[in-house]
């Protein structure tokens, strides 16, 4: 039986021992910095757990799994420049600690290093894995571009939003699991099911993020509750509210969005009250459950003995139930 | 016999027919824009000419050759942000025409698309090609970082400068030729010789660029003669002059570098006169010849029939003799 904690330990050790390159130091130090910021490493873990469905020896899966995490952190480094974000996991972002040029160039090298880590793939599978990785990587960029486009639009539909988060965050979770399946030499149907499971769950996770920002327990939630409301971030909840609000409620919502000075707690309370009146919480929870159920259904259909599924199912249940 | 013009025509048609992706348009339009800016396409042509040393059918070499050009243009798009460059080939740079975020994200997708184009490589060679490409790509980034580091340093040595331009510009020319050799199934010794030829020639080309900026014929030189002098750009000539100038000449050179207001023509004339006194032109021309000769020596050693070498040699002679 695969020990999830043991796999995480292996991954953490590998990341701690990675230098990513040596010279010039100005290029590689920011990479070591962002990779050390206590990421949960759950993407590479999904790859290992995916491979573990089919294989016991996961040694050949470790580097490719790391590729997914390095790619993910590359997108964070570049997205943080574009989003002008000061903090990442509570620490200064790379473009803040150094500068934007450093974050651009070190990010570029990270993307190259991600490809490097994929070279541990069995040569007979390499072309297929790279084609799938390239598609996923381009889709993540497309999602980021859509996200930026949405910033200046007030007519984003629920469908457009779901497609944006699918591209920006979910396809990589799908790929992480699919990559494990490919390395484990699963049949193509299982690889596809694992991709779909990751994709559905990923949308669910993002919607849950959106929900917790408004309704999360401040004791458990890592960030400031209501941050998205304060910044008018176009989350699933806001998009739903904008599509449903009419009359006075609509006027009130528009007014809060337009105000340039306000008491933060008052705005959070007021917008949350609007969401309550429109039953946004119920609608969002329903949507989250739909996506999670879809994901579990895909996992159920896998051609794998039930006991072999346990480590992955257990881990996914943990992710689904997290409150922060 | 391979027709170089025919190969260029094939490449141009392929680039003209490439969309790089479709949706969202904001992401892919800047890629089509930079790829349409009349690049000379001599990197992918080197790949085709390299493959043509060993093979007549070059159809499988076209996409991988394009990968080299797409990668090159990716570096231009990101470098232009970092260098704050307003123009590229006489047209507004992507970050000027759109904005820096667009140039970052579209550049990222270009790098991914470059990898996509490498997938046409014979599966048995794919891993090797990718390992070589990854190394080359990372080295190009290292060169760009060194170049940026040098901006604030006045003690850059000749050796450091040569290593910087080797990384920033030459290794990709080496890889372009080596890639052709690999696709042509050349023996490893030939592939290495072609890499070395490209690497040496590339350093020669960059030094010649540096030289032409100061001593080029204004009628033939595409850019403003003296542009590097006006901006105190640390070229091979300036680094040589800084290492050789003493006494009054040194004082005069330092003075021109430090001046914030000056007549451009006067500064160009004065610094050129300093270079003349220090024999910088002769020293640079000698160095250029050394690198070009080294390159031709590598090409001579190739295990290829002389007549088969003609198209490549002819093209390289053209590059070596260009005056702009």
Q: Which pLDDT does position B61 carry in this prediction?
A: 97
Angstrom CA distances, A300 to A170, A173, A178, A190, stand at 19, 18, 15, 10
What are the tens digits of pLDDT across the range A92-113? Answer: 999 999 999 999 999 999 999 9
Q: Between A100, A111, A130, which is nearest B111 by CB?
A: A111
Q: Number of Cβ pairs closer than 8 Å across A and B?
A: 114
Q: Which pLDDT does position B78 carry in this prediction?
A: 98
Q: Which of A216-230, A250-264, B97-111, B270-284 has the lowest mean pLDDT?
A: A216-230
Structure tokens at A289: 């459950």
Partners of B148 on chain A (C-beta within 8 Å) are 26, 101, 105
Q: Between A82, A123, A142, which is nearest B127 by CB?
A: A123
Answer for the pair A66, A56: CB distance below 8 angstroms, yes or no: no
Q: Are strands B91-92 and B87-88 parallel, antiparallel or unpaired?
A: antiparallel
> Measured between alpha carbons, how far apart are the two ends of chain A, in Å?
29
Half-sphere exposure of B65 (CA within 13 A, CB side): 29
Q: Between A26, A130, A144, which is nearest B105 by CB?
A: A144
Q: Give the Cβ contact number of residue A322 at 10 Å.
A: 12
Q: Does B132-324 match B1-125 at the fold level? A: yes
Partners of B119 on chain A (C-beta within 8 Å) are 127, 130-131, 134
Interacting residues of B29 by C-beta distance below 8 A, sequence separation 6+: none
B112: contact with A, CB 8 A cutoff: yes
A134: contact with B, CB 8 A cutoff: yes
Residue with tokens 């260029």: B8
Q: What average pLDDT values come out for chain B (324 residues) when binned by 10 residues? A: 89 95 96 93 97 96 98 98 92 96 98 97 96 98 96 94 98 98 98 98 96 86 81 96 96 96 95 97 97 98 96 95 79
Q: Do B109 and A141 touch (CB under 8 A)?
A: yes
Q: How far is B85 from chain A (nearest CA, A)?
A: 13
Q: Do A134 and B116 touch (CB under 8 A)?
A: yes
Interacting residues of A215 by C-beta distance below 8 A, sequence separation 6+: A272, A281
Would you tell me which residues 266-305 of chain A have a C-beta closer than 8 angstroms to some C-beta of chain B?
none
Partners of A100 on chain B (C-beta within 8 Å) are 81, 100
Separation between Cα atoms, residue A312 and residue A177, nearest integer Å? 10
Q: Which pLDDT does position A219 carry in this prediction?
A: 76
Q: Do B134 and A123 touch (CB under 8 A)?
A: no
Q: Do A78 and B104 touch (CB under 8 A)?
A: yes
Maximum alpha-carbon separation in chain A: 63
A132: contact with B, CB 8 A cutoff: no
Q: Which pLDDT does position A256 carry in this prediction?
A: 97
Q: Between A24, A115, A123, which is nearest B115 by CB?
A: A115
Predicted confidence (pLDDT) at residue A218 exceeds the cutoff of 80:
no
Q: Between B23, B130, B145, which is nearest A142 by CB?
A: B23
Q: Do B27 and A145 touch (CB under 8 A)?
A: yes
What are the tens digits of pLDDT across the range B196-246? Answer: 999 999 999 999 999 999 998 877 766 678 999 999 999 999 999 999 999
Structure tokens at A196: 């779909």
B166: contact with A, CB 8 A cutoff: no
B137: contact with A, CB 8 A cutoff: yes
Q: Domain ranges in chain A?
A: 4-321
Partners of B111 on chain A (C-beta within 8 Å) are 108, 111-112
Does domain A4-321 match CATH 1.10.600.10? yes
Q: Do A138 and B109 touch (CB under 8 A)?
A: yes
Q: Which pLDDT does position B249 carry in this prediction?
A: 96
The question of ipTM being above 0.85 is answered as: yes
Which CATH code is given to the segment(s) B132-324? 1.10.600.10
B146: contact with A, CB 8 A cutoff: yes
Separation between Cα atoms, residue A114 and residue A34, nearest integer Å? 14
The three-state DSSP-derived secondary structure of chain A is: CCCHHHHHHHHHHHHHCCCCCCCCHHHHHHHHHHHCCCCCCHHHHHHHHHHHCCCCCCHHHHHHHHHHHHHHHHHHHHHHHHCCCCEECCEECHHHHCCHHHHHHHHHHHHHHHHHHHCCCCHHHHHHHHHHHHHHHHHHHHHHHHHHHHHCCCCCCHHHHHHHHHHHHHHHHHHHHHHHHHHCCCCHHHHHHHHHHHHHHHHHHHHHHHHHHHHCCCCCCCCCCCHHHHCCCCCHHHHHHHHHCCHHHHHHHHHHHHCCCCCHHHHHHHHHHHHHHCCHHHHHHHHHHHHHHHHHHHHHCCCCCHHHHHHHHHHHHHHHHCCC
Q: Do A105 and B23 touch (CB under 8 A)?
A: no
From A136, which residue of chain B is nearest by alpha-carbon distance?
B112
Residue with tokens 């922060």: A324
Predicted confidence (pLDDT) at residue A223 exceeds the cutoff of 80:
no
Q: Which of A168-177, A220-229, A238-247, B192-201 has the lowest mean pLDDT?
A: A220-229
Closest C-alpha among A11, A10, A15, A206 to residue A110: A15
Separation between Cα atoms, residue B126 and residue B117, nearest integer Å? 11
B128: contact with A, CB 8 A cutoff: no
Interface test with B, best of A64, A127, A160 (most B CBs within 10 A): A127
What are the tens digits of pLDDT across the range A304-316? Answer: 999 999 999 999 9
**Matching CATH number, B1-125, of 3.40.50.450, 1.10.10.10, 1.10.600.10, 3.90.1300.10:** 1.10.600.10
Q: Do B108 and A21 touch (CB under 8 A)?
A: no
Q: Which pLDDT does position B1 carry in this prediction?
A: 63
Q: Between A26, A112, A130, which is nearest B145 by CB?
A: A26
Chain centroid to CA B301: 24
Q: Which pLDDT does position A39 carry in this prediction?
A: 87
């Amino acid at each position: 039986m695969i020990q999830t904690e043991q796999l995480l330990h292996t991954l953490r050790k590998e990341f701690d021992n990675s230098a990513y390159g040596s010279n010039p130091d100005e290029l590689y130090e920011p990479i070591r910095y962002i990779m050390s910021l206590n990421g949960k490493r759950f993407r590479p873990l999904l790859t290992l757990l995916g491979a573990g469905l089919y294989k016991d020896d996961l040694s050949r899966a470790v580097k490719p799994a790391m590729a997914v995490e390095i790619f993910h952190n590359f997108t964070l480094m570049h997205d943080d420049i574009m989003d002008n974000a000061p903090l990442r996991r509570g620490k200064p972002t790379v473009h803040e600690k150094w500068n934007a040029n450093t974050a651009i160039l070190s990010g570029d090298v990270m993307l190259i290093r991600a490809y490097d880590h994929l070279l541990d793939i069995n040569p007979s599978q390499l072309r297929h894995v790279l084609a799938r990785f390239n598609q996923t990587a381009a889709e993540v960029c497309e999602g980021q571009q859509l996200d930026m486009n949405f910033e200046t639009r007030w007519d984003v539909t629920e469908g457009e939003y779901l497609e944006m988060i699918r591209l920006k965050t979910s396809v990589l979770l799908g790929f992480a699991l699919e990559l494990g399946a490919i390395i484990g030499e699963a049949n193509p149907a299982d690889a596809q099911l694992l991709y779909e499971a990751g994709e559905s769950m990923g949308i669910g996770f993002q919607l849950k993020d959106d929900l917790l920002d408004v309704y999360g327990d401040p004791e458990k939630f890592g960030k400031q509750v209501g941050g998205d409301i304060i910044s008018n971030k176009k989350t699933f909840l806001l998009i739903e509210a904008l599509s449903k609000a009419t009359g006075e409620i609509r006027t009130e919502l528009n007014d809060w969005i337009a105000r340039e000075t306000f008491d933060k707690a008052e705005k959070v309370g007021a917008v949350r009250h609007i969401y309550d009146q429109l039953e946004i919480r119920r609608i969002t929870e329903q949507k989250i459950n739909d996506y999670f159920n879809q994901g579990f259904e895909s996992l159920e259909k896998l051609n794998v003995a039930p006991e072999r599924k346990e480590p992955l199912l257990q881990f996914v249940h943990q992710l689904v139930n997290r409150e922060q």
